[in-house]
């Protein structure tokens, strides 16, 4: 299976050992914009929680990206995310559903890397 991409802009998706599900979107991608908005919201919650992790329901965008990555639809429907803000712009997300972790790195074709696939280093 080929590597998963954003269903709106075809930007690459991958999983980072540090951050979890990651994606790169072209400018103007509605899913990328929604991810950016949620990151800011998570940053605000993380600051109020003084860095302590928390669990929240996954967003519609996260569910869309998880489905595009090949996660099981029934598990995605009931998914939650454990959020840890590592710094103002870095967020670790671990997805859970029905008492089990959704192991994004084990999804078919999912690259596991710290940098976007194809990025010049």
Q: Report the distance separating Cα 103 and Cα 110, nearest Å.
A: 11
**In the block, residue with structure tokens 């972790």:** 101
Tell me the site size for Zn ion, rule CB under 5 A. 8
What minimum distance in Å lies between the beta carbon of 56 and Zn ion? 22
Helix (H, G, I), strand (E, B) or coil at 107: coil
Q: Report the distance separating Cα 20 and Cα 65, nearest Å.
A: 12
Token couple for 90: 């870095």
- The single residue among 29, 85, 104, 107 that binds Zn ion, judged by CB under 5 A, is 29
- 11 lines the binding site for Zn ion (CB under 5 A): yes
- 9 lines the binding site for Zn ion (CB under 5 A): yes
- 116 lines the binding site for Zn ion (CB under 5 A): no
- The single residue among 14, 25, 42, 66 that binds Zn ion, judged by CB under 5 A, is 25
Does an H or E element contain 86, and which? strand 79-87
- 69 lines the binding site for Zn ion (CB under 5 A): no
Binding interface with Zn ion (CB under 5 A)? 6, 8-9, 11, 25, 29, 31-32
């Amino acid at each position: 299976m080929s590597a998963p991409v954003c269903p709106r802009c075809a930007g690459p998706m991958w999983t980072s050992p540090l951050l979890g599900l990651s994606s790169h979107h072209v400018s103007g991608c509605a899913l990328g914009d929604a991810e950016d908005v949620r990151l800011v919201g998570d940053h605000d919650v993380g600051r109020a929680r003084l860095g302590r992790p928390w669990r929240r329901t996954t967003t519609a965008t996260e569910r869309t990206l998880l489905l595009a990555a090949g996660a099981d639809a029934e598990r995605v429907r009931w998914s939650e995310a454990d959020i840890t803000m590592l710094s103002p712009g870095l967020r670790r997300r671990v997805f859970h559903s029905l008492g089990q972790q959704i192991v994004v790195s084990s999804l078919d074709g999912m690259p596991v890397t710290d940098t976007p696939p194809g990025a010049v280093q």
